[in-house]
């Protein structure tokens, strides 16, 4: 009788000494760490959760996400398309819910700017007073099908990208990117900022919308897919996607009257390498929303930061946020700035990582790795490490440097807990004071606590204790 058929293959968890009598080729030595970041009770819950019910739910969830082919259909004023902000005074912000009093500097600045932009106040002091008195409702973008980078503040009059799921008509939204420098999303609200926002509302938005109506919807998946083969990773580097988008729309825009506006729009697109980031974000949001509420699924549907807390949402726990205090990103700083100047991590842009772009698609973008301190080998290693915590490759996003394998997509809470590997997020670093702007960029990992909370909640929903 042989017990180990056909030949002994031994997985060793722990001391190599235990298997020293076994031929080395037959041993698979694990690089083991305590599961669930050392929380044995959660590790036990995760083990019970990891059953056929979850596997089946996750298969359905990731298939749903990967089946979405978002189309960029319109650019419309937010109040016209985003549910729940047309009446009264409501402003949207990035990340999980947070009260005005607890908000960080850049987000407060952005809300003051948006209040001025809407004409609800004449001066910053008046705006602040309105917000202090609670006369303006603040709510997360994510609660309205929208996403915004950094402070992520969306006001009713701002134009937004509309991404449409052609199979069922679902929509998702994102603000239009203002470029770098003094911008609202970093908390600046002076005249220059308000003037630019007004131009975006009056000129940029309408022209882009007319161009889309004339040209027809743009398939965002194929746009991003192509950009990934041109050195973008869909979060911190967007120059290829922006160029491709501009190339598609430019002939249509160039023919528009008045030509001075058309030229101004094209110049704006030419000068803003991150313009397509918000398109990528809206598309990722639309894709991930396909799995929201998928019962028993442990797939992460959103990761977002509000500058104070990191928030996580999981398919099987619907609208519930799992939050924990977030620290500043560790990265490379522009000359003259350092970690002491950095605001804690901020923005909804981690929705791109949730789908498998950004930090997960690092292999595609040798250029970005240099920016955040690393080399192309590190980038490939980073992408491969994300395979350990994802449900599968994204079929529409093949990455050339890893033999055209799809980017690792769909974070599984259980795999994060089992491996101890945390999602990598590429991020810009904002100055903690409103309006100073971006002072660096880096890679952050999602905090472990939110995954522990998620497992507890999911187990609770399944009646597991």
Partner 1 sequence: MNSPKTTVLSSRVLHHFYRDSVALMAIASATEKREGVIRVGAVMATPANRGILADSDMLPPDLNAESDDLVFVVRAESEDTATEALDAAEAGLTAVETSGAIEDQRPGTVDEGIHAALAGDRESPANLAAISIAGTYAPIVAERAIRNGLHILCFSDNVAVEDEVRLKKLAVAGGVLFMGPDCGTAIIDGIPLGFANVVKQGKVGMVAASGTGAQEVSRLLDLAGVGVSQLIGVGGRDLSADVGGIMTGFALDLLERDEGSEAIVVVSKPPSTDVATALISRLEGIASHGKPVVACFLGMDDADPDSVTPGVVVRGTLEGGAIATARLAGHELAVTDLDPIEPVPGRVLGLFTGGTLASEAKIILKRAGVDCEILDLGDDQYTAGRPHPMIDPEARADKIIEAGADSSVGIILLDVVLGHGASRDPATPVAEAVMVARSEAESVGRRLEFVASVCGTAADPQGIERQRTILRDAGVILAATNASAVRFVAAQQAGTHAS
Partner 2 sequence: MRVDTTLMLSAFTSPFHVVHVGQSAVVLRSARKQASGDELLIISPERSGLMPGGVCLAHVDFHRVRADILSHNPPTGSVLLAGWSGQSAVWALVNLNLAARAIPAVSVLAHQRAVAAHTSSRATAGPLSPEPIRLKAPSIAQSALAANLGDEMLSVTIGAGPGTTPSGDDVIVGIFAGLHVFGLLNEVSILARQIVPFLPRTTLASRHYLKAAMQGRFGQHVHDLVDTLAGDGDPDLTVQRASQWGATSGVDLLVGLVSVLAASMNTRSVESAA
Site of interaction with partner 2 (CB under 8 A): 6, 52, 55-56, 59, 63, 222, 226, 229, 398, 400, 403-405
Tell me which residues in 145-184 interact with partner 1 (CB under 8 A): none
Tell me which residues in 91-150 interact with partner 1 (CB under 8 A): none
Residue closer to partner 1 (CB basis): 33 or 247: 33
Tell me which residues in 6-25 interact with partner 1 (CB under 8 A): 6-15, 17-22, 25
Place of tokens 């991020």: 427
Residue 3 binds partner 1, judged by CB under 8 A: yes
Backbone angles phi, psi at 172, to 5 degrees: -145, 155
243 within 8 A of 274, measured Cβ to Cβ:
no
Residue closer to partner 2 (CB basis): 195 or 222: 222
Runs of H (alpha helix) within 25-119 = 40-49, 52-67, 78-81, 105-117
Tell me which residues in 407-446 interact with partner 1 (CB under 8 A): 418-421
Q: How far is the CB of 19 from partner 1 (least distance, A)?
A: 6
Among 69, 182, 388, 462, binds partner 1 (CB under 8 A): 388
Residue closer to partner 2 (CB basis): 66 or 185: 66
Residue 60 binds partner 1, judged by CB under 8 A: no
Q: How far is the CB of 36 from partner 1 (least distance, A)?
A: 9
Q: How far is the CB of 419 from partner 1 (least distance, A)?
A: 5
Q: How far is the CB of 6 from partner 2 (least distance, A)?
A: 5
Task: Return the number of other C-beta atoms located less than 10 Å from residue 418's C-beta.
Answer: 18
Q: How far is the CB of 52 from partner 1 (least distance, A)?
A: 11
**From partner 1, partner 2, none, interface partner of 63 (C-beta below 5 to 8 A by class):** partner 2
Residue closer to partner 2 (CB basis): 54 or 427: 54
Q: How far is the CB of 138 from partner 2 (least distance, A)?
A: 42
**From partner 1, partner 2, none, interface partner of 19 (C-beta below 5 to 8 A by class):** partner 1
Residue closer to partner 2 (CB basis): 61 or 114: 61
Residue 56 binds partner 1, judged by CB under 8 A: no
Task: State the angle between helix axes of 220-228 and 239-254 in degrees (0 to 180), rounded to the nearest 10.
Answer: 130
**From partner 1, partner 2, none, interface partner of 126 (C-beta below 5 to 8 A by class):** none
Task: Using CA atoms of 293, 344, 283, 184 in order, give the dihedral in degrees to the nearest 10.
Answer: 130
DSSP string, 319-357: T--EEEE--BPPEEE-TT--GGGBPBPEESTTHHHHHT-
Of 13, 1, 36, the C-alpha closest to 454 is 36
Residue 190 binds partner 1, judged by CB under 8 A: no
Among 40, 129, 255, 319, binds partner 1 (CB under 8 A): 40
**Measuring CA to CA, how many Å separate 13 from each of 22, 48, 415?**
14, 20, 18
Residue closer to partner 1 (CB basis): 55 or 266: 55
Q: Whole-angstrom Cα distance, residue 181 to residue 188?
A: 9
Residue closer to partner 1 (CB basis): 12 or 438: 12
Which of left, alpha, beta for 14 (phi over 0: left; psi -120 to 50: alpha)? left
Whether residue 248 has a cis bond before it, omega within 30° of 0: no
Q: How far is the CB of 462 from partner 1 (least distance, A)?
A: 17
Residue 32 binds partner 1, judged by CB under 8 A: yes
363 within 8 A of 230, measured Cβ to Cβ:
no
Residues 6+ apart with CB under 8 A from 120: 89, 127, 130, 136
Tokens of 210: 């007319």
**From partner 1, partner 2, none, interface partner of 330 (C-beta below 5 to 8 A by class):** none
**From partner 2, partner 1, none, interface partner of 327 (C-beta below 5 to 8 A by class):** none
Q: Whole-angstrom Cα distance, residue 170 to residue 163?
A: 8
Query: Strand, helix or coil at 160?
Result: strand
**From partner 1, partner 2, none, interface partner of 55 (C-beta below 5 to 8 A by class):** partner 2
Residue closer to partner 1 (CB basis): 47 or 266: 47
DSSP string, 198-262: HHIIIIIHHHHHHHHHHH--EEHHHHHHHHHTTT--SSS--HHHHHHHHHHHHHHHHT-SSHHHH
Residues that bind partner 1 (CB under 8 A): 1-15, 17-22, 25-26, 28-35, 40, 43-44, 47, 50, 381, 384-385, 388, 418-421
């Amino acid at each position: 009788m042989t017990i180990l058929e056909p030949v002994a293959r031994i997985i060793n968890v722990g001391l190599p000494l235990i298997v020293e009598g076994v031929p080395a080729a037959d041993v698979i030595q694990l690089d083991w760490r305590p599961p669930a970041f050392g929380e044995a009770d959660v590790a036990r819950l995760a083990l019970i959760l990891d059953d056929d019910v979850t596997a089946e739910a996750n298969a359905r969830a990731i298939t749903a996400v990967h089946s979405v082919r978002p189309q960029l259909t319109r650019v419309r004023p937010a109040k016209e398309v985003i549910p729940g902000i047309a009446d009264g005074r409501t402003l949207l912000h990035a990340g999980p819910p947070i009260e005005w009093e607890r908000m960080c500097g850049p987000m407060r600045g952005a809300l003051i700017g948006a209040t001025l932009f809407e004409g609800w106040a004449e001066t910053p002091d008046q705006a602040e007073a309105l917000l202090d008195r609670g006369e303006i409702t603040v709510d997360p973008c994510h609660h309205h099908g929208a996403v915004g980078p950094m402070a992520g503040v969306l006001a009713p009059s701002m134009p937004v990208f509309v991404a449409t799921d052609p199979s069922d008509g679902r929509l998702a939204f994102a603000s239009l990117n203002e470029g770098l420098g003094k911008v609202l999303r970093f908390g600046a609200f002076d005249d220059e900022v308000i003037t630019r926002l007004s131009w975006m509302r009056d000129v940029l938005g309408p022209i882009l919308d007319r161009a889309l109506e004339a040209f027809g919807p743009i398939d965002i998946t194929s746009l991003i897919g192509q950009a990934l083969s041109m050195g973008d990773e869909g979060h911190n580097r967007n120059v290829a996607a922006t160029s491709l988008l501009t190339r598609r729309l430019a002939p249509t825009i160039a023919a528009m009257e008045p030509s001075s506006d058309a030229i101004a729009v094209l110049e704006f697109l030419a000068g803003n390498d991150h313009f397509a980031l918000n398109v990528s974000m809206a598309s990722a949001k639309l894709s991930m929303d396909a799995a929201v509420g998928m019962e028993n699924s442990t797939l992460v549907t959103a990761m977002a930061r509000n500058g104070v807390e990191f928030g996580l949402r999981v398919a099987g726990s619907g609208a519930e946020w799992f939050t924990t205090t977030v620290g500043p990103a560790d990265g490379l700083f522009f000359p003259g700035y350092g970690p002491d100047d950095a605001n804690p991590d901020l923005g909804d842009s981690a929705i791109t990582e949730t789908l498998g772009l950004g930090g997960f698609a690092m292999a595609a973008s040798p250029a970005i790795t240099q920016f955040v301190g690393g080399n192309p080998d590190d980038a490939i290693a980073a992408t491969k490490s994300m395979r350990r915590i994802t449900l599968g490759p994204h079929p529409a996003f093949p990455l050339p440097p890893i033999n055209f394998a799809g980017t690792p997509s769909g974070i599984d809470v259980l795999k994060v807990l089992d491996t101890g590997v945390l999602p990598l997020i590429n991020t810009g670093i904002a100055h903690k004071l409103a309006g100073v702007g971006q002072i660096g960029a880096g890679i952050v990992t999602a905090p472990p606590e939110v995954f522990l909370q998620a497992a507890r909640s999911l187990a609770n929903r399944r009646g597991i204790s």
